[in-house]
Amino acid sequence: MRKAFVKTENYGRFVASVRQVEQRGAAEAGLMLVHGLPGLGKSHVADRWAVETGAVYLRAKVDWTPRYFMRDLAHELRTVDPTGTSQQLFTRLSEHLARTQQALVIDEAEFTLAQGAKTLEKIRDLSDFAEVVVVLIGMERIQKMIAKHGQIHSRIAQAVEFTPVTLDDVRFACSVLSEVPIADDLAGEVHRLSNGRMREVLNIISTVERVAIANSMATANLEAFSGMALSFDWQSRKQKVVRAVNGGK
């Protein structure tokens, strides 16, 4: 499977929302929230955007404290000394970010809400002092969790909910990623079997390509894959099978 990034509709809404935050009127309202069900591509999109823009991408840890977060951030930046008191470290980080205007991406942001959201408060402080954009990524419940902290919630300039990818997204992904052409009828099955979860879309495309190459198929289409299991539902413990068509397997 080709190594390429597929710009889905979720990606487009993500980028548009970042631009809105960058153009905000209140400098302190620099937080952006990205939320949604697992597997929809939130982390993948944010990581790609961070690489493209030079933003700093961090995955929050379950045992993060404000100081632990700041040390991780300093190590990721590489040019900021991670030693000294917490106040000294905060000063170095805020000065660096104010100078470079690097945005921060905090994935699995639920972990920043432990102990009265002390770590998220420190992230908010950095955003305030340096006037940089901070993208918080979490599951669907994170919006309600943050809403309990008014001083943080009021600084969220944009909230983006990732939704299942569209059929057009899947067709585009098939055309970009698979080394064997995937016909539209089979792309429709990829969309159906994946339930619009981008992570599963990628796994199914990889399986389709592997089977097509092993069988010397010029094109992977619905008839050739009729009745074939392309994925597995771990909750129901059942295979996800391509719908049968006349003349198929």
Residues spanned by the domain of 62: 9-161
User: Does any domain span residue 150?
Assistant: yes
CATH assignment at residue 40: 3.40.50.300
114-130 and 86-100 helices, crossing angle to 10°: 50
Q: How far apart are CA 37 and CA 31, in angstroms?
A: 20
pLDDT tens digits for 201-229? 999 999 999 999 999 999 999 999 999 99
Residue pair 63/83 in contact (Cβ under 8 Å)? The answer is no
Kindly state whether residues 52 and 82 are assigned to the same domain. yes
Kindly state whether residues 18 and 94 are assigned to the same domain. yes
Kindly state whether residues 153 and 51 are assigned to the same domain. yes
pLDDT at residue number 153: 87
pLDDT at residue number 26: 66
Kindly state whether residues 107 and 200 are assigned to the same domain. no
pLDDT at residue number 249: 46
Kindly state whether residues 19 and 51 are assigned to the same domain. yes
Helix (H) or strand (E) holding 91: helix 86-100
Kindly state whether residues 200 and 154 are assigned to the same domain. no
**Domain C-terminal end among 161, 189, 204:** 161
Helix (H) or strand (E) holding 59: strand 56-59
CATH assignment at residue 210: 1.10.8
Please name every residue paired with 34 in a beta bridge, in sequence order, or none if there are none: 137, 160
Kindly state whether residues 127 and 107 are assigned to the same domain. yes
Kindly state whether residues 42 and 128 are assigned to the same domain. yes
Q: pTM score, two decimals?
A: 0.89
Helices (H) and strands (E) in the chain, counts: 11, 7
Using only the alpha carbons of the chain, give its radius of gyration.
21
CA 125 to the chain's CA centroid:
24
Number of domains in the chain: 2
Kindly state whether residues 68 and 152 are assigned to the same domain. yes
Kindly state whether residues 143 and 176 are assigned to the same domain. no
Provide the pairing of β-strand 134-138 with 104-107: parallel
**Domain C-terminal end among 105, 136, 161:** 161
Residue pair 193/229 in contact (Cβ under 8 Å)? The answer is no
Residue pair 22/69 in contact (Cβ under 8 Å)? The answer is no
Kindly state whether residues 187 and 150 are assigned to the same domain. no
Q: What string of pLDDT tens digits covers the 249 residues of the chain?
A: 999 999 999 999 999 999 999 888 666 678 999 999 999 999 999 999 999 999 999 999 999 999 999 999 999 999 999 999 999 999 999 999 999 999 999 999 999 999 899 999 999 999 999 999 999 999 989 989 998 988 888 889 899 999 999 999 999 999 999 999 999 999 999 999 999 999 999 999 999 999 999 999 999 999 999 999 998 877 777 888 999 887 544
Cα dihedral 125/126/127/128 (nearest 10): 50
| The total number of residues written for the chain in this structure | 249
User: Does any domain span residue 2?
Assistant: no
9-22 and 42-53 helices, crossing angle to 10°: 50
pLDDT at residue number 238: 85
**Domain C-terminal end among 103, 134, 161:** 161
pLDDT at residue number 90: 97
User: Does any domain span residue 248?
Assistant: no
